[in-house]
Amino acid sequence: MAFCKYSTEFIANSKTEIDNIFINDYLPFSSPQFSMVYIYGLYLCQSDSFDNSLENFAKTLNMSQEDVVGAFEYWQEQGLVQILSTNPIQIVYIPLKNVLTSNKLYKPDKYTTFNSQANEIFKGKRSISKHEYQEYYDFLERYHVEQEALLMIMKYCVESKKSAVGYNYILTVAKNWASEGITSTLQVEEKLKTMEEKNEDMSEIFKALSIKRLPTIEERAFLDKWQNDLGFQLDVVLYICKKLKKKSKFSFERVDALLTKYFEMKLCSVSEIKEFENEKQKLFDLAKEINKTIGVYYENLETVVENYILKWINMGFDNSFLLSVAEYCFKTSIRTLEGMDKTLLKFFKLGILTTNAFNQYIDQILYDDDKIKNILSTLSLNRNVNNFDRNLYKNWKENWGYNDEIIDYALTLAKGKQSPLKYLSKVLADWHEKGIKTLQEAKEFTKTNFIEDKSTQLKSNFTGRSYSKNELNALFQSIEEIDV
């Protein structure tokens, strides 16, 4: 008997860890019964506190003993366990990291047909080593690809390369396709059919580039990406290829990088790309001028154009307005392109996209400031206009709908009060609450109702309890943040 061991209760309240490799690479492809056997066996491995016998194992899972043994034979074939003995049966679990780095043993007859057909594909070109066969087996088991599907991929690679292609190349293609979910013979046939349909397009590209050979699998994959993933038409691909060839800078990688960039910039047609290229220098000049105005320097202006200038132009801002905003940002201590981008977003939400609209916006602010100054002067408040005043005035005018006549009348009631601005706002708030909309209604209401000055009451209510410094700061901060 063991000197120390877990109690049954301790084990019941613990956890059984299952490696993610099992969940990802094995669980989806095994039968539910086989997975159940593996996981329950993993659980029993934690302690000898249970009746860890084949009979009890089968009874717990409501399976026959033969089915349990069959499940462990499957997992032994997968390399996850080892059956040390069969009478009595004894199972050893193998760490999954070891499974991935060790060669598995397969039944001799499992890959007989595969070996024969694979050898025919390479006949007259090269022989297949034992190690290469093992790599194919491991791939088939790990990715759960049909044998016939892999044979079709091997044949395609050999015929495309027209040479004794290595197995690493074949497995790279097969793994890429498997990652796309192409694991069955039917799916490989569909993939090859799609690629065959693109042969005419690829021929057009090779003709334009004066390339006299068959395209490689990688080149076909590029075309598939450009047309299917990025959605470019053949004329766009041909335009970019010819353009790079003319500059002696052609490579499929460069075409891919350029098309990916245009895709991200939402430039989808030849005309859009040409227009962008023609305007590119102007955009570079604008970027340089904006950087200079706000006081920043970027050696690579292409990044500025792609990430900022083009975005702002597409939003509808004109060049002169962008320069005006850059000057505005500099004067208000906004000295980064990120800061200018946030400022422009605010103007965009306000519908201000041109210099004329911006000037009208500023004129309106100055006009309102003059009105507010007159209000403050009437109330004997000798100070500058601040944002709180502007928000208060905006609320009276825009949200409550009061014109200057009503505000001026309310001023006559607030003049001379202890907190005149607060009193003025309270009077207007009372009228708004009562549904008073016109000057006549306001005058009639004032005649028949005594407007109580509640400022002292507000003060006593406010000081009726003790507030901490943090509470007061939070209160005033929340008031300041209100967008009236």
Please determine, for residue 465, whether its predicted confidence score (pLDDT) is greater than 70. Answer: no
Q: Which whole number is the average pLDDT over 132-160?
A: 89
User: For residues 238 and 205, is the Cβ–Cβ distance under 8 A?
Assistant: yes
pLDDT band at 451 (very low <50, low <70, confident <90, very high): very low
- Spell out the residues 6+ positions from residue 410 whose beta carbon is closer than 8 angstroms to its own: 402, 424, 427, 428, 431, 442
Whether pTM exceeds 0.75: no
How many DSSP H helices and E strands does the chain contain? 27, 2
Show the tokens assigned to 474: 């939070």
User: With 90 as the cut, is the pLDDT of residue 117 above it?
Assistant: yes
pLDDT value of position 458:
34
Local confidence band at 47 (pLDDT 50, 70, 90 cut-offs):
low
At residue 47's C-alpha, the angle toward residues 45 and 51, to 5°, is: 90
Name the one residue in this structure whose structure tokens are 């094995």: 26
Three-state DSSP state, 266: coil
**Is the pLDDT score of 322 beyond 90?**
yes
Mean pLDDT score of the chain, rounded to an integer? 83
Distance CA 411, CA 422 (A): 11
Which pair of tokens denotes residue 75? 């997992």
CA nearest to 143, candidates 52, 313, 29 = 29
- At residue 481, the pLDDT reads 42
Residue 271 has a pLDDT of: 93
Of 163 and 476, which is predicted with more confidence? 163
Taking residues 171-181, what's their average pLDDT?
A: 89
Tell me the β-bridge partners of 82. Answer: 92
- Looking at residue 358, its pLDDT comes to 81
In whole angstroms, give the CA distance from residue 210 to residue 102. 48
Residue 88: its pLDDT value, please? 83
> What tokens were used for 101?
């780095």
Reported for 444-450, long-range contacts at CB under 8 A and 24+ positions apart, including other chains, are 446/413
Which residue type, as a one-letter code, is found at position 396?
W
pLDDT category at 235 given cuts 50, 70, 90 is very high
pLDDT mean over 38-55: 80
The answer to whether 354 touches 316, Cβ cutoff 8 Å, is: no
Residue 317: how many other CB atoms lie within 10 Å:
22
Encode pLDDT of 407-438 as tens digits.
999 999 988 888 899 999 999 999 999 999 99
Q: Tell me the average pLDDT across 281-290.
A: 91
Single-letter amino acid code for the residue at 421: L
Q: What is the mean pLDDT of residues 16-43?
A: 86
Average pLDDT over residues 181-207: 87
For 350, the token pair is: 């306000």
